[in-house]
């Protein structure tokens, strides 16, 4: 089987500052991919480049057999590569239902709109109760659920989640983890950035440790690794 996503030699940054220095990752072959590493070392930047929010300076991104380097976010989402950004505030003045309709804006997602909506409602019963509530009045956890729900409405072939449980209380965090696991079990491969090592290990079996805008260590499925190894990487041996 081919890789669903191959990023090679990607260089990207903001203005004159380069954040990613020729980074490369593969996803979609061995199961879910996890990215981890210290704050501010380019995980979010990598994901933004992959989903077309940020134009890379060099390197290539191939998704589903097509070179998508430099494509607009709009055409990338239409290919089924869907990104839930870190700390997404969504559309504060719209209702949850409005956000879901927007999630299905891409032409490829329209035919699946009704089915995906049911899927979201089943996954997050809490949202289904408050379909007409405005996003600005939601709690952080609920907003994260809407964010993931919107992504599901876009009918993903590959789903990118950037710190889905950031800043959430344990109870709601567990709820979200369960939902994300369900999504993965339903057959959507994931790329996840997550600070919660527990959750990361439960969800993914192919890990990249990202440091200074590069992959410092790749842990392939089957490689033996322990919680403590990862903690050691985080804090520097």
Partner 1 sequence: MNALADILFGGLFQGSLYAMMAVGLALVWTTIGVFNFSHGVLMMLGAYFAWQLVDWGLTAALAFPIAVLLMAGVGWVLQATVVRPLIGRANLVLVVVITTLAAGSLIENGVLELWGPRSKQIPPLVAGNAMLGGVGVSLHQIAIIVVTPIILLALWLFLNRTRLGLALRAVAQNEDAARLVGLNVTMLYGLAFAIAASLAALAGIFLGGYRFMTPVMGADPLLKALIVVVFGGISSISGPIFAAYLIGFFEAICSYYFGLYWTPALLFAALILTLMIKPEGIFASRSRGLA
Ligand X SMILES: Nc1ncnc2c1ncn2[C@@H]1O[C@H](COP(=O)(O)OP(=O)(O)OP(=O)(O)O)[C@@H](O)[C@H]1O
Contact residues: partner 1, CB under 8 A: 51-53, 72-74, 77-78, 82-83, 85, 88-94, 98, 101-103, 105-106, 109, 134, 136, 150, 154
For the segment 54-113, give every residue that binds ligand X (CB under 6 A): 86
Q: Is 165 in the site for ligand X (CB under 6 A)?
A: no
Specify whether the CB–CB gap between 159 and 51 falls below 8 A: no
Per DSSP, the three-state class of 114 is: helix
> Which strands make up the sheet holding 66-67, listed edge to edge?
17-27, 5-14, 58-63, 66-67
The residue assigned the tokens 């600005």 is 136
Binding range to ligand X, per CB under 6 A, among 37-45, 73-81, 122-130, 148-156: 37-45
211 DSSP assignment: E
Binding range to Mg ion, per CB under 5 A, among 80-88, 116-124, 130-138, 181-189: 80-88
> How many binding residues for Mg ion (CB under 5 A)?
3
Which of partner 1, Mg ion, ligand X, none is residue 82 near (CB under 5 to 8 Å by kind)? partner 1
DSSP E strands, the chain: 5-14, 17-27, 33-36, 58-63, 66-67, 81-84, 158-162, 190-193, 206-211, 214-219
Specify whether the CB–CB gap between 42 and 20 falls below 8 A: yes
Min. distance of Cβ 100 from partner 1 in angstroms? 10
Interface residue with Mg ion, options 44, 116, 154, 165 (CB under 5 A) = 44
What is the contact surface with ligand X in residues (CB under 6 A)? 14, 17, 19, 39-45, 86
């Amino acid at each position: 089987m081919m890789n669903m996503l191959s990023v090679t030699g990607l260089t990207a940054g903001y203005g004159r500052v380069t954040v990613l220095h020729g980074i490369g990752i593969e996803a979609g072959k061995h199961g879910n991919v996890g990215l981890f590493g210290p704050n501010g070392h380019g995980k979010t930047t990598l994901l933004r480049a992959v989903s077309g929010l940020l134009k890379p300076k060099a390197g290539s991104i191939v998704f589903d057999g097509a070179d998508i380097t430099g494509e607009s976010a709009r055409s990338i989402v239409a290919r089924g590569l869907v990104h839930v950004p870190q700390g997404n505030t969504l559309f504060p003045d719209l209702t949850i239902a409005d956000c879901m309709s927007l999630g299905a804006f891409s032409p490829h997602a329209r035919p699946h709109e009704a089915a995906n909506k049911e899927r979201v409602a089943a996954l997050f019963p809490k949202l289904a109760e408050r379909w007409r509530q405005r996003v600005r009045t939601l709690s952080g956890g609920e907003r994260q659920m809407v964010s993931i729900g919107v992504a599901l409405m876009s009918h993903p072939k590959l789903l990118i989640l950037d710190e889905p449980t950031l800043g959430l209380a344990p109870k709601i965090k567990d709820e979200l983890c369960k939902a994300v696991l369900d999504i993965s079990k339903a057959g959507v491969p994931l790329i996840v950035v997550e600070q919660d090592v527990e959750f990361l290990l439960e969800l993914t079996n192919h890990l990249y440790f990202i440091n200074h805008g590069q992959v410092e260590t790749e842990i392939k499925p089957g490689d033996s690794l322990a919680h403590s190894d990862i903690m050691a990487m985080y804090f520097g041996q």
